[in-house]
Chains A and B, each alone.
Chain A
Amino acid sequence: MQKTPFKIFIVILAIIVGLIFIVPILWMLATSFKTDQEAFTAGLKWIPKVFTLENYQYSLAGNSDTPVLQWMGNSLFVGIIGTLIVLVVDTLAAYGLARLDVPFKKLLISIFIGSMTIPWVITFLPLYMEFNKFGLLDTYAVLILPYSANAFGVFLLYQYFRGFPKELEEAAFLDGANKWQVFVKIVLPSARPVIWTLAIFTFMGIYNDFLWPLVTTNSPEMRTITTGIAIMQQGSFVSSPGRLMALTSIATIPAVLLFIIGQRSFIKGVNQSGIK
């Protein structure tokens, strides 16, 4: 249908736009292998004159104030546990609301969906005070639990379960299976793609969150990588672009790889979530 010159023009345009997205990341990588002296010298060197791994060694070694590996571990830990909690409670609730005889079902559904319109800023300070009251600031609990109240996953899965054909479940009920068995053996396996989507959304949300972990933690060993490198940027690494970029690269590469692997499900999920 389209003429060839137009196609070529579009591809070239796409490459130029692509460079805008990639250049900042390449410049970060280039700087991370430079000595600070070279980094500060003007010269637009994309390949370092003196190629050094010292920045990576230094950043990874850390010390008691900047335990970088611990921060990475914290982020992975709260991201994974937080996501697991969301997946378990959300799939259960969504299935119950979509299919089972839960009392006050209609009311609950409208409250949950309505809650998604409430700006997050409303709960931010009182949540902080709630955790403060129970002495749970600066713990893993404060970094994990608040994300579990979000109704997005319930809504996403609810929509999916509503559209799921009833016949399979009914056949299983006739065979004498109970609700729990039907849920575990039939419903969950069928929902794998949408669960995977919710997992990616949730993990990225927790892993990349900034303000909440920033105000609710203060000891160096409780920081997440996102807040940790922000503190390094304003603190001990402020005059060392090489080290800062090495640290940033370390934090970025796993996220980007995970994202490239998971993005197909993510995009499929955007489609399924009815966002259109």
Chain B
Amino acid sequence: MRNTSWKSQLTSSLFVIPYLLLFVVFLLIPIGYGAWISLHNWDLLNPVHEFVGFKNYTKIFDSNSYLNELFFEGLKNTFQFVVYSVPLLVVVGLGLALLVNALPGKFKGFFRTVYFIPYSVSVSVVAIIWLWILDTNSGLINQYLQKMNLPLIPWLTDMPWAWISLAIATLWWTIGFNMVIFINALNDVSEELYEAGSLDGANRWQRFVHITLPSIKPTMLFVVITSTIASFNIYGQPYLMTRGGPGTSTKVLLMNIVDEAFKQRQLGNAAAMSLLMALIMIVISILQFRITNRKE
């Protein structure tokens, strides 16, 4: 960059400073402050916060501490949701994109909009709508099952149905976003590759496996990582639909963190749990990135 006068640099800085201030106050400082809180015995009601070093972290790994169960039970439940939902979010998202792309031109826009509509509503609307559809006695699905003389399904009160219900609601709500991203990626795959494939006698499936999939690999990675992060952050669906139940089997890690912070008022513990959760999320994202981009 060419050297410029300090005056010019000053006026240029004015463009960045407003955002920089907000960035520092609402992102950088909270990160540091959170780490600081996690090193203290920080009771919300007690004005004195005793410094305890890494004790909150060691408690999480100490099987005698209730924090151990709180963290790892929650993590296990969150992991379950991630494992159930992410493959669906990716595969169904891609499937819908392929379906929309295969449609005759005039239908494309319409169905893309239809599949994308649920994305615009909020999680509480999603929860209320699906609670009413999955209700054991008056729910839409069970009423149809009853009509066909099939056994009723305890959608929200029994395992593994509770997870299935949460996955269905989440899929319905967010799949449109992944679909749109995949549609964009599919449109960028070069026509020439497909034509070359057809000339070589490749059928539809072979073209999909050998041309489409390799071409959209970066998008695939993006969707996998963002869906994993979103599924890790799940809160509203179990909070509103199953309230963590039956028992605590759908009580995800984020719910336990919020409870530890605002019900038990142990902010130090909750901050330590948040940091560990974030660390796990970062490690998983890096692993997903590495696995996809490894040399073959």
Contacts and interface: CB of A to CB of B under 8 A. Distances in A.
A50 interface: no
A207 B172 CA distance: 19
B270 A125 contact: yes
A101 B261 CA distance: 44
A58 interface: no
Interface residues of A, number: 94
B164 interface: no
A44 B147 contact: yes
A276 B285 CA distance: 17
B187 to A, nearest CB: 9
B12 A101 contact: yes
Given A92-B19, A121-B254, A241 B277 contact: no
Nearest to A105: B1
Interface string A6-49: 01001101100110111111011001000000011111100000
Contacts, number: 261
B267 A125 contact: yes
B107 interface: yes
A211 B19 contact: no
A76 interface: no
Interface in B20-46: 20, 22-23, 25-27, 29-31, 33-34, 37
A211 B236 contact: yes
Nearest to B146: A42
Contacts of B233: 119-121
A227 B277 CA distance: 25
Contacts of B275: 122
A102 B27 contact: no
A118 interface: yes
Interface in A119-138: 119-130
Contacts of B240: 230, 233-234
Given A100-B12, A108-B20, A270-B181, A18 B111 contact: yes
Interface string A94-124: 0111001111010010001001011111111
Contacts of B285: 117
A251 interface: yes
Nearest to A39: B138
Contact of A17 (B99, B122, B278): B99
A210 B235 contact: yes
Nearest to B104: A7
A227 B127 CA distance: 12
Contact of A92 (B8, B15, B131, B271): B15
Nearest to A9: B102
A229 B125 contact: yes
B281 A259 contact: no
A251 B125 contact: yes
A154 B213 CA distance: 31
A154 B115 contact: no
B19 A233 contact: no
A119 B124 contact: no
B159 interface: no
Contacts of A210: 122-124, 235-236
Which of A25, A145, A275: most chain B CB closer than 10 A?
Answer: A275
A27 B12 contact: no
Contact of B180 (A31, A211, A230, A267): A267
B18 A119 contact: no
A233 B125 CA distance: 10
Given A20-B172, A251-B122, A96 B257 contact: no
A215 B260 CA distance: 13
B63 interface: no
A248 B281 contact: no
B274 to A, nearest CB: 5
A251 B121 CA distance: 8
Interface of B: 1, 4, 8-9, 11-13, 15-16, 18-20, 22-23, 25-27, 29-31, 33-34, 37, 96, 99-100, 102-104, 107, 111-125, 127-133, 137-138, 140, 143-144, 146-147, 172, 180-181, 183-185, 188, 218-219, 222, 229, 232-233, 235-236, 240, 254, 257-258, 261-262, 267, 270-271, 274-275, 277-278, 281-282, 285
Given A27-B129, A102-B13, A275-B184, 20 more contacts: A14-B107, A21-B115, A39-B138, A85-B22, A93-B19, A96-B12, A96-B16, A118-B27, A118-B31, A120-B233, A125-B274, A129-B33, A129-B37, A151-B23, A178-B11, A208-B122, A230-B124, A233-B131, A256-B121, A271-B184
12 contacts: A21-B115, A92-B15, A102-B15, A105-B1, A118-B27, A121-B277, A126-B30, A130-B33, A183-B15, A230-B240, A256-B117, A260-B113
